[in-house]
A and B are shown apart, each in its own frame.
Chain A
Amino acid sequence: MAEQGTVFNIQRFSLHDGPGIRTTVFLKGCPLACAWCHNPEGMSFEPEVVIVGNRCIRCGECVEACPRDLPSGDGTGFAGNRADCTVCGTCVGVCPTEARQVVGHSMTVDEVLAEVLKDRVFYDESGGGVTFSGGEPLSQAGFLLAALDACKAEGIHTAVDTCGHAPRAALLSVAPLTDLFLYDIKATDDEVHRKYTGVSNQRILENLEALGREHGAIWLRVPVIPGVNDCTENFAVTGKLAASIPAVRRVSLLPYHPMGNGKRDNVGQPAGMSDLRSPSEVRLQELAAVVEDAGVLATIGA
């Protein structure tokens, strides 16, 4: 199949992206820029060289190999401008420790399908399947559609994890091939949404309404970010919203975890919200109860 997509990870044994044991395919590139993003390597649409500093043994192989003399003297970082890197992969090829890796590979639908099919037995036994996530999978809508089509043809349960910020037509086009949507509502207050994600939530909320009319299975997902969206009001509104759309089966509260900070460093992004802590278990329970008060199932973690 000719359709190509840019994939930055295929994660097997995913347990928190829908029911059962799943394989999550992460598509690269996202229209949002959430300050707390835990997959910062999925933000850019282009392949990137990442450097995992603590794996580096300072052997200097990359310094020797780089045709543009970009690595710093000990190879632990970039000396020159990171933007000058063409992601030719030479330094990654010679690095013995996998401290240097390319994140983001062009893959065909068949290649992705082959990876997904590897764990078919586990989907069958656990009620799992495939989840397309990102980045924002709908940003590569043509590829996503073709990949979903290929998975459905194999009888595999499909889920799409989306931020909802995508053309309506793209969203609705994948709906018939998607068994379950994991739909992010990061903040119900538009000002908060703009401040922390860079875009308005208006399109997201409208898309949700439209999807709710066309599709029968949606799980809303809310990242719980202390100090940003963890107020009772936000969850009360989210609960009400969920209750108003019959297709919404549950609201999942995803506690913030600081894992993304290290990864930001690897891709050369400035630290996000580095002083942020995970929300407490007590607070999560309180917020889940607020959602449940609206008459919708709330879960923590998935």
Chain B
Amino acid sequence: MNERTQRLRCGTLEAIPSISSERAELMTSFYGDELGKHSAPVMRALAFRHLCENKTLYLGDDELIVGERGPKPKSVPTFPELTCHSLEDLRILDSRPKTSYAVPEECLTVYEEEIVPFWRGRSLRDRIFAALPDEWHKAYEAGVFTEFMEQRAPGHTVLDDKIYSMGMLDFKRDIADALARLDYAADPEALDKREALRGMDIACDAVILFAERHAELAEWRAKTEKDGHRKAELLKIAETCRHVPANAPRDFQEALQYYWFCHLGVITELNGWDAFSPGHLDQHLLPFYEKGLEEGTLTEDSARELLEAFFVKFNNHTSPPKVGVTAAESGTYTDFANINLGGLLADGSDGSNAVSHILLDIVDEMHLLQPSSNIQLSRKSPEAFLRHALRVISKGYGFPSVFNADAVVEEQIRQGKSVEDARAGGCSGCVEVGAFGKEAYILTGYFNLVKILELTLHDGVDPRTGEQLGLQTGVPASFESFEQLFDAFLQQLRHFIDMKIRGNQVIERIYATEMPAPFLSVLIDDCIQNGKDYNAGGARYNNSFIQAVGIGSVTDSLAAIRSVVFDESSLTLRELVAALDQDFAKSEPLRQWLVNKTPKYGNDDDAADDLMVSVFEALFDMIDGRPTARGGAYRLEMLPTTSHVYFGSVTGAMPDGRKAGLPLSEGISPVQGTDRKGPTAVVKSAAKMDHIKTGGTLLNMKFTPSLLAGEEGLTSVAGLVRSYFKLDGHHMQFNVVSAETLREAQDDPASHRDLIVRVAGYSDYFCDLSVELQNEIIARTEHEGF
């Protein structure tokens, strides 16, 4: 890392996250003037252009890649048309101890005087909540499920290779062709399509305009720049911004700058989940890298410098904070952009290359919170690529995470995608699979499996509130066999899955009609050809995911019930539930028995693992393939992000011996501390799930640094990963920090501010995590070789 990069890196690490009201003000004045004059897509496109035309620009002293969403690094705009922060929300954001955002006084004033009065009742969140039925609200408030789209738009997608050969002017030509093809006599949707396409066309102009403004700013700066070298850089920036995104990029810098304008466009237009991601960056950049080296316009060092400057831009973009802030649901500054390395080319050959290795070095050297990174490991990936990645992993930043590229392809083919589109796809967010540049794959919310069992054990009543939330499937005394109880559990499960899907249909419909994303639609095939917005089903592939949480905890709880109540008959179900209701206050020996002497998932023991498979298969049957409001299909994913902590906090004591309020198991990992037979047994248990039927699963392994030390350590861990993938496992991530280090960081956060750990599908600053989550990470079994 050279001196400039060090300055850039320091700058982004030291920048303090803050709230900027500029976007909210621009949107409010625009909507005030224009509301009711345009169709929804054109209105959204004009609003986007208004932002591109008027937002404050930023060009930092050392920057090579330019453009910020806010007026300066880590200054985060708000999206009141989607969700409007109250004054109280803003004050909490400003003052909360963890992941706070500085809120300037003038921001509070403008919110009080203009923003809140205009958007109250008009913001999409208000309208979504008004449209959802009472049963949905009750289940949502009880913590049966969460909902992604109640305050962030369905984004969560990834770009493919199209921008490296096509400029916005090319997209405009495609749009014009699609407009010309419209048959108003034969196609009843022609008018809607026209409006959608007009919106896309305006969005292309808007982002070109945004780049032109940066070109002007760079030229203006160059005029007064005394340092000759920097002056040349500024002129190069200006030239780059004049050329892209209007035209296809010609060199390495233009390729990166073009992607960056697309990224900014997508995250400025709406606040989509998981920001936006460049996908197979190594594959996309290789032609520009090779060409630059050949022509002598680029060296390996200058390519590294540009990539490092590019990484800093990601880290500058802190996630937009949520409203109705609770500590439980607001744990991170990361916005989940994720870069794929390696993988497969569309023709099925190995996709790793020289740029993959450079990017692994940069991940290692920069170790910034964002962007996150992963390797896509296929059977064809060279061992040297895996070992390089493992050496970076062994540093303990939690990235890159490791995905099974072959399984990722198979999962997508099962969903009906073409093999080429599947190979060009990969993973984003935490572990989610998609066809890059061709799919709207949308997360709908986390689903609390353990709460469902709790409701089943209480005849549908939530013991926390006494409210009848679920079906009346029988009191504990009424179950004569384990099968009867399991059947009741499945009835409750179906009841709430159906409720979740009913709610989601409403939300998707509202987004489709009210909140199109014309700029994102330009970038995702086949929105232009279909004349249909990304949020309305315009993409080639459309999938909506429900993310199930707590499979380990629910498996162990069911296994414990079967063992003590039905196999050993050592107590009745009624007695067991009574002990749960008292949080084991008077029955510690019973709790110990449940913890230590009943079958546990994660030990390669079919007595528990078979139940995991039964629950998984039932979930899959209840969800997979059901139609969405966008004309796509619902799919199942097994990942928690941090929701296992929140869900645990609203779920009482359970038969696996877990006390009330403690975190649930995360991802498909075993319950924290119950995997006693080591990592191979965990891998075997986890692989009994049919990962190919999912859209992503998350397995977390915590290793001490010594395990990955030396070449023999790398060989063992490489063998572990390859074995899991041979068994069709989807993803594995590593926390390589000793529990001792984590405890030190808890005691002395000031000296551990840069300690990054793997949370669940992403990495975060350990000291920014809630104490509950910190403890949970410490408790996850620390694996050593024996």
Question: Do the beta carbons of B589 and A21 come within 8 Å of each other?
Answer: no
Shortest beta-carbon distance, A32 to chain B, in Å? 22
Shortest beta-carbon distance, B172 to chain A, in Å? 51
Interface of chain A, main secondary structure: loop
Specify which of B684, B712, B726 lies most central, judged by the most chain A CB atoms within 10 Å of its CB: B712
Shortest beta-carbon distance, A135 to chain B, in Å? 16
CB neighbours (8 Å) of A122 from chain B are 680, 683, 719-720, 723
CA distance A59 to B723 in the complex (A): 43
Option from B589, B678, B712 in Cβ contact (under 8 Å) with A59: B589
Question: Do the beta carbons of B596 and A15 come within 8 Å of each other?
Answer: no
CB neighbours (8 Å) of A121 from chain B are 723, 726-727
**Residue A302 lies at the interface, judged by CB distance under 8 Å to chain B:** yes
Shortest beta-carbon distance, B587 to chain A, in Å? 10
**Residue A11 lies at the interface, judged by CB distance under 8 Å to chain B:** yes
Question: Do the beta carbons of B596 and A97 come within 8 Å of each other?
Answer: yes
CA distance A96 to B597 in the complex (A): 7
CB neighbours (8 Å) of B461 from chain A are none
**Contact residues of A between 106 and 154, Cβ < 8 Å to B:** 118-119, 121-122, 124-128
**Contact residues of B between 180 and 213, Cβ < 8 Å to A:** none
Question: Do the beta carbons of B679 and A13 come within 8 Å of each other?
Answer: yes
Question: Do the beta carbons of A15 and B726 come within 8 Å of each other?
Answer: no
Shortest beta-carbon distance, A58 to chain B, in Å? 10
Counting contact residues on chain A (CB < 8 A from B), the size range is 20 to 34
Contact indicator per residue, chain B 765-786, by CB within 8 Å of chain A (1) or not (0) = 0000000000000000001011
Question: Do the beta carbons of A24 and B726 come within 8 Å of each other?
Answer: no
Option from A15, A96, A119 in Cβ contact (under 8 Å) with B712: A15
**Contact residues of B between 582 and 611, Cβ < 8 Å to A:** 588-590, 592-593, 596-597, 604
CB nearest neighbor in B for A122 = B723
CA distance A15 to B604 in the complex (A): 19
**Residue B391 lies at the interface, judged by CB distance under 8 Å to chain A:** no
**25 contacting pairs across A/B (C-beta < 8 A):** A11-B678, A11-B786, A12-B677, A12-B678, A13-B783, A15-B707, A16-B786, A20-B715, A20-B719, A57-B588, A57-B592, A97-B592, A118-B604, A118-B680, A118-B681, A119-B684, A121-B723, A121-B726, A121-B727, A122-B683, A122-B719, A125-B718, A125-B720, A125-B722, A127-B719
Question: Do the beta carbons of A125 and B785 come within 8 Å of each other?
Answer: no
Residues of B that sit less than 8 Å from A by CB: 588-590, 592-593, 596-597, 604, 677-681, 683-684, 707, 712-713, 715-716, 718-720, 722-723, 726-727, 783, 785-786
The 3 closest A-B pairs by CB, nearest first: A126-B719, A15-B785, A13-B678
CA distance A24 to B727 in the complex (A): 23
Asked if A15 meets B716 with Cβ closer than 8 Å, knowing A122-B723, A125-B723, the reply is yes
CB neighbours (8 Å) of B680 from chain A are 12-13, 21, 118-119, 122
**Contact residues of A between 59 and 118, Cβ < 8 Å to B:** 59, 61, 96-98, 118
**Residue A14 lies at the interface, judged by CB distance under 8 Å to chain B:** yes
CA distance A302 to B706 in the complex (A): 13
CB neighbours (8 Å) of B715 from chain A are 20, 126-127
Specify which of B592, B597, B680, B712 lies most central, judged by the most chain A CB atoms within 10 Å of its CB: B680
Asked if A98 meets B720 with Cβ closer than 8 Å, knowing A13-B679, A20-B715, A57-B592, the reply is no
Question: Do the beta carbons of B678 and A125 come within 8 Å of each other?
Answer: no
Question: Do the beta carbons of B786 and A126 come within 8 Å of each other?
Answer: no
Option from A20, A96, A124, A125 in Cβ contact (under 8 Å) with B596: A96
CA distance A57 to B590 in the complex (A): 12
CA distance A126 to B714 in the complex (A): 10
CB neighbours (8 Å) of A302 from chain B are 712
CA distance A286 to B493 in the complex (A): 63
CA distance A122 to B724 in the complex (A): 8
CA distance A268 to B444 in the complex (A): 57
CA distance A28 to B17 in the complex (A): 61
Asked if A15 meets B713 with Cβ closer than 8 Å, knowing A21-B719, A122-B723, A126-B720, the reply is yes
Specify which of A13, A21, A57 lies most central, judged by the most chain B CB atoms within 10 Å of its CB: A13
Asked if A126 meets B593 with Cβ closer than 8 Å, knowing A16-B786, A121-B723, the reply is no
Shortest beta-carbon distance, A230 to chain B, in Å? 21
Question: Do the beta carbons of B712 and A21 come within 8 Å of each other?
Answer: no
With A61-B589, A96-B590, A121-B723 known, 5 other A-B pairs at CB within 8 A are A12-B678, A16-B785, A125-B718, A125-B723, A128-B719
CA distance A126 to B679 in the complex (A): 14
Specify which of B590, B681, B785 lies most central, judged by the most chain A CB atoms within 10 Å of its CB: B785
CB neighbours (8 Å) of A11 from chain B are 678, 786
Question: Do the beta carbons of B677 and A126 come within 8 Å of each other?
Answer: no
CA distance A118 to B677 in the complex (A): 12
CB nearest neighbor in B for A17 = B786
Option from B588, B596, B716, B783 in Cβ contact (under 8 Å) with A21: B716
Shortest beta-carbon distance, B593 to chain A, in Å? 4
CB nearest neighbor in B for A119 = B680
CA distance A302 to B418 in the complex (A): 48
Question: Do the beta carbons of B785 and A14 come within 8 Å of each other?
Answer: yes
CA distance A34 to B596 in the complex (A): 33
Question: Do the beta carbons of B592 and A96 come within 8 Å of each other?
Answer: yes
Shortest beta-carbon distance, B382 to chain A, in Å? 15
CB nearest neighbor in B for A9 = B786
CA distance A21 to B677 in the complex (A): 14
**Contact residues of A between 143 and 172, Cβ < 8 Å to B:** none
CB nearest neighbor in A for B713 = A15
CB neighbours (8 Å) of B719 from chain A are 20-21, 122, 125-128
CB neighbours (8 Å) of B723 from chain A are 21, 121-122, 124-126
Specify which of A24, A57, A97, A121 lies most central, judged by the most chain B CB atoms within 10 Å of its CB: A121
Contact indicator per residue, chain A 2-43, by CB within 8 Å of chain B (1) or not (0) = 000000000111111000110010000000000000000000
Specify which of A20, A122, A127 lies most central, judged by the most chain B CB atoms within 10 Å of its CB: A122
CB neighbours (8 Å) of B596 from chain A are 96-98
CB nearest neighbor in A for B682 = A13
CB nearest neighbor in A for B726 = A121
CA distance A24 to B786 in the complex (A): 9
Shortest beta-carbon distance, A17 to chain B, in Å? 8
Question: Do the beta carbons of A21 and B720 come within 8 Å of each other?
Answer: yes
CB neighbours (8 Å) of A61 from chain B are 589
Asked if A126 meets B716 with Cβ closer than 8 Å, knowing A12-B677, A13-B678, A118-B604, the reply is yes
CA distance A11 to B590 in the complex (A): 28
CB neighbours (8 Å) of A98 from chain B are 596-597
